[in-house]
Amino acid sequence: MSGSIAASRVALRPILDGVLHSNPAYELVSFDRLSQDQQAVLKDLSCDPDFYGVLLPRAPGASGIKSVCHDTARLLRILANGGRLPRSVEESLGERSNQTVAKLVLDGVLEIEQEGKFVCGPEACPVIFANHSDSEPQSVLSRLSQSALQYGQALEIDDASCLSGRLYCYNRIPLTPYWARRLPSEDSVFDFLGVSALNRKGILKNWTLSERRDSSDGWLHWWSRRHSSALPETNRGYKLYVSPQPDALPTAFGAVVEVLDDSAAHSFKVGCDPIGILRPDKLVIYFRDFKTLEQTACELSIRLSDCPAQGAPFTAAFGDDGLLSWGIDPLPEKAVFRGRGPESWRLWVTNRLAAALALARKAPWSGIQPWQFALERLRLDDVDTLTWAPNPDFSISAD
């Protein structure tokens, strides 16, 4: 069974000695200089002590408003007239300074000189990368993820947040009258899953069903009674996705609950309505470390060897059929759209991919397709875009 944390970083060219320039397509504006209407939109961001302000597009070709922290604002002021990165700034950025600056160039915040002109975004890829992720995807989920990106590129959507939503929903099964009639209520979902029968058998005795306080939550949550002393404040951390076809969910749900009875999982959730049952990531199990997640995945792969899969894009596969996969919910400070609440693994990935797609769609043609640029950009955020597994440097919120 395949499935592991990616082992290597991206090979980058050394660019810190290159000539850099703050992108003149943007104007750096501190929060207190914004209009009242703009401040109202960004009020949640203003609660972050690291938040400085925004980059406002000066030209139609620029890719939307970008929020910036105090360190980035200082760097932009230093490089306003162009030049090499001061050694003091390089030291302050730490051991990953080359990667940090590379991100800013690819995001269009900074430009770098190449053959007598300044470039950024997709045009800067030959300057940034020493190698490219040009291998063909091998697994079902990798191919599915690539198809989702190509679909996103074809959409005429420039708003990154809206585009992220379309990527996130890729491979959902449309809600049909059949499923609306079959699962008209939460009670019908319980019957569909066979929860009453599982309770009668005592299989769910070690789990507590959480009360749904928010009707928009979309999930039925169970929490471990055996591991209650070690539960985190939220159900975030390492997560195992189980993605059967909707008709096969009752069988998969029963097997999952039986396997979890003797596992280190601290919680799991399943969609609470037909829309949730039809999504690819319909059943999610949470762990505090990868080792225990992997052990459970191995056991489930045996129990569910004949279960037809739907497959969750932008997750790292266990096995070849797309039924089991995993991810890690990121720390809040790694969020793309700050102030909008926590991001799950898949939402964190699609937010980054959408931002890169939107930028590349507006950029001059550079020989790289927007969906390919999005993959290149995501590699700098510690994700192996061939397997969709996080690299060891990826920060998590499990502890």
Residue 271 is assigned to a structural domain of this protein: yes
pLDDT band at residue 236 using 50, 70 and 90 as cut-offs: low
For 4-56, what is each residue's pLDDT tens digit? 655 446 789 999 999 999 999 999 999 999 999 989 988 888 888 899 999 99
In a domain, 322, yes or no: no
Residue 239 resides in a domain: yes
Query: How confident is residue 3, by pLDDT bands cut at 50, 70 and 90?
Result: low
- Please give the residue range of the domain that contains residue 198: 177-310
Q: Quick: pLDDT tens for 131-159.
A: 776 668 878 999 999 999 999 999 989 89
26-30, 90-94, 187-191, 337-341, range with the lowest pLDDT: 337-341
Indicate whether 231 pLDDT > 80: no
Q: Inform me whether the pLDDT recorded for 384 exceeds 50.
A: yes
Residue with tokens 């569910």: 304
pLDDT at 357 over 90: yes
In a domain, 69, yes or no: no
Residue 6: predicted pLDDT: 54
The predicted pLDDT at position 140 comes to: 95
Task: Tell me if 266 is assigned to some domain.
Answer: yes
Closest CA relative to residue 331, chosen from 343, 323, 321 = 343
What is the pLDDT averaged over residues 73-97? 92
Return the structure tokens found at 316: 């790292």
pLDDT band at 249 (very low <50, low <70, confident <90, very high): very high
In degrees to the nearest 10, what's the CA dihedral of 17, 81, 94, 66?
Answer: -120
Taking only the tens place, the pLDDT of each residue in 169-187 is 999 999 999 999 999 999 9
Burial of 156 (0-12, 13-18, 19+ CB in 10 A): exposed
Q: How many domains is the chain built from?
A: 1
What pTM was estimated for this model as a whole? 0.91
3-class DSSP assignment, residue 189 = helix
Domain contains 356: no
Compute CA distances 184 → 153, 187, 272, whole Å. 35, 8, 11
Higher pLDDT, 334 or 59: 59
Domain assignment of residue 273, yes or no: yes
Rounded CA-CA distance 13/36 in Å is 43
Whether 103 has a pLDDT exceeding 50, the answer reads yes
| Residue 285 confidence (pLDDT) above 60 | yes
Neighbours of 21 (CB within 10 A): 18
Across 268-284, average pLDDT: 97
- CB 1 within 8 Å of CB 297: yes
Alpha-helical regions (H) of the chain: 36-41, 70-78, 87-93, 97-106, 125-128, 140-154, 160-168, 177-182, 186-193, 195-200, 249-260, 274-278, 290-303, 345-362, 370-379
Q: Is residue 191 part of a domain?
A: yes
